[in-house]
Amino acid sequence: MGRKSYNKDETRVNFSNGNGDVKKQRKLVVVIYQLGVWSTTHIPIIFYLLLSKTRQSPLHLLFQKRMRDFRKRAHSRSICFFIMTTGQLFSRTTQALFYNYKQLPIQRMLDFDFLCGRETPSVAGIINPGSEGFQKLFFGQEEIAIPVHAAIEAACAAHPTADVFINFASFRSAAASSMAALKQPTIRVVAIIAEGVPESDTKQLIAYARANNKVVIGPATVGGIQAGAIKIGDTAGTIENIIQCKLYRPGSVGFVSKSGGMSNELYNTIARVTDGIYEGIAIGGDVFPGSTLSDHILRFNNIPQVKMMVVLGELGGRDEYSLVEALKQGKVTKPVVAWVSGTCAQLFKSEVQFGHAGAKSGGEMESAQAKNQALREAGAVVPTSYEAFEDAIKETFDKLVEEGKITPVKEFTPPPIPEDLNTAIRSGKVRAPTHIISTISDDRGEEPCYAGVPMSSIIEKGFGVGDVISLLWFKRSLPRYCTQFIEICIMLCADHGPCVSGAHNAIVTARAGKDLVSCLVSGLLTIGPRFGGAIDDAARYFKDAYDRGLTPYEFVESMKKKGIRVPGIGHRIKNRDNKDKRVELLQKFARTHFPSVKYMEYAVEVENYTLTKANNLVLNVDGAIGSLFLDLLAGSGMFTKQEVDEIVEIGYLNGLFVLARSIGLIGHTFDQKRLKQPLYRHPWEDVLYTK
């Protein structure tokens, strides 16, 4: 079969035929992590077929054997593999989803984006369970509306290019929400800010992430930053600190630390003695970090822009020893300057728990002194104290500059960040927030747009009133049969004579000499449950009954028990033998053009039952429009169930009657003024005077 060779950390597989020709060759860098209590569910699916075209290939059989061997040897620990490829986690176009809305860290991210000259904000959307809509924030001087989603799945579907998940949930829900994010195919990196996440939950997150080639930063992390590209949450602190640390443009140093607070200190230190950092990560101080110091050092080693690495570890745990092994095996080819803090622990007589959960020396090997010595012996530059750390970084950087391996970055002045209102008031500079969000029209630019469609396009394409309503009310261009139906409803409902309450009020107001708007409003105020305002209720009740599978008998009798009249059923004039012609016209159009009329047919069945009770309990125009609009929304395929429910709840359908009847009310007002009718006084004989 040829020759093969491998070891547990790095596997290079060579297969040769009898003539010595090498058929295929691949190198897998495998990092083994200790995760705690063994579970076979933690074993990731590794490279089903890497090289071969058949499952019986030598390479495939070798990997099957290796996996079987690993399973047999495992007893009290999970073994997971993490493949480090290109090294890059972020770029200037990376976008993130922010979980659990926090105004200040999001605004700081957006201010950093502007400082770095990004064209698009790094926050694509916000996930705030139970809330939807938009959140207003600043991107430089421009105020932007960032979408807010109620669920992780909805946010990922709406923003498929956002591949970083920043989790600001509390420790109680951080694990569940992080796992939900990891299971989304669009998410590559999850940063967990919360401290106190249960270790068992963290192990599950780590196992799932490594099995699916994803990255977890944290828990208990402040996040990370790629200079000039993106920062996570509160990483690097205020804008003033970011500018002082030169984080608005990339440098040459890759930095990784367990401590978030010390990260800010080291960003400043590195900026003083080098050209600044290229990327900095705080992995978090918990016992089981989602990604380790060596993970990121190996990753930095694969990034061409990173010329040297700086590591700040701490006593407790053995994470630093994986970096020691990587250095010894030659996997890290760039200079590493490292320091493990906590050397003062030896001054205490008993074991001391420092600030982080993992900062507790459990033995000599976990002490800061032992780790520093191991790193020094493995080839890292390790100073004699933290005070000498800065000098060691400077000397390493200066040496690389002298060798021509680093060309120091040319400095430039970043753009100023506009001050917020309270600060600006004191300094005389103001950026005031807007008070209205509009998503249906925009009059900025050369011509107005309805739902993004320019006015000229509306005219050139021959759009009608129904098309304009579809753009301004539904924010989309509906099929022609839908807009025709809207126009038919407007025409049929424009007026119903001078005797109905709305027209009567408009006429009386006009004869009192009032202006057009007063007359129109006087008539519109009569629209409600008893006059023209039953369309929404008819749609709501018919939809609920149909969706629940109620028979007409069950529906009508249940409404009767509640003491509610069935909206859309009944007329003061029309009856079984004299049905409303408007209803017949609407039904005929729908049966001819609509893909489905299931709600209308259900309304007709209800009418057939109510007519057995009384001759005038016919389907009226409110019921016809309400049921047919449900068919329009459901049959067009352009609305989700949630959107249909929202349209009915908000009052869109009553809005159609209001729009249509306004035409008639205006007509009656003009008619009375044209006829110069005097002040109206109701005749005595039409009033019943009684004690």
Residues with a known catalytic role: 356
E-state strands within 495-537: none
d(CA 470, CA 465): 9
Burial class (CB in 10 A: 0-12, 13-18, 19+), 682: exposed
Answer for the pair 294, 301: CB distance below 8 angstroms, yes or no. Answer: no
Question: What does the block give as tokens for 662?
Answer: 């306004």
The phi, psi pair for 59, rounded to 5°, reads -65, -45
CA distances from 74 to 39, 83, 200, 319 (A): 9, 20, 18, 20
- Residue 279 is inside which H or E element, if any? strand 277-282
Q: Give the strands of the sheet with 123-127, arranged side by side.
A: 133-139, 142-149, 123-127, 96-99, 164-167, 189-192, 215-217
d(CA 589, CA 612): 27
Q: Is 137 strand, coil or helix?
A: strand
Three-state SS for 198-211 is CHHHHHHHHHHHHH
Crossing angle between the packed helical segments 465-474 and 480-493, to the nearest 10 degrees: 100
Pairing of strands 164-167, 96-99: parallel
Which among 666, 618, 658, 642 has a CA at the least distance from the CA of 535? 658
d(CA 15, CA 17): 7
Bridge partner residues of 164 (DSSP): 96, 189
Sign of the Cα pseudo-torsion (5, 88, 267, 109, in order): negative
Sign of the Cα pseudo-torsion (447, 448, 453, 456, in order): negative
Question: What does the block give as tokens for 302?
Answer: 């694969």
CA distances from 493 to 458, 532, 625, 628, 670 (A): 25, 9, 10, 15, 18
Answer for the pair 297, 334: CB distance below 8 angstroms, yes or no. Answer: no
Bridge partner residues of 532 (DSSP): 528
Question: What does the block give as tokens for 240?
Answer: 């003033």
d(CA 507, CA 501): 10
Question: What does the block give as tokens for 516?
Answer: 């057009």
Q: Tell me the residue type at 217.
A: I
Transcribe 659-689 into DSSP letters: HHHHHHHHHHHHHHHHTT-------GGGS--
End-to-end CA distance of the chain: 114
Three-state SS for 526-581 is CCECCEECCHHHHHHHHHHHHHCCCCHHHHHHHHHHHCCCCCCECCCCCECCECCH
Max Cα–Cα distance, the chain, nearest Å = 121
CA distances from 247 to 5, 101, 375 (A): 45, 25, 28
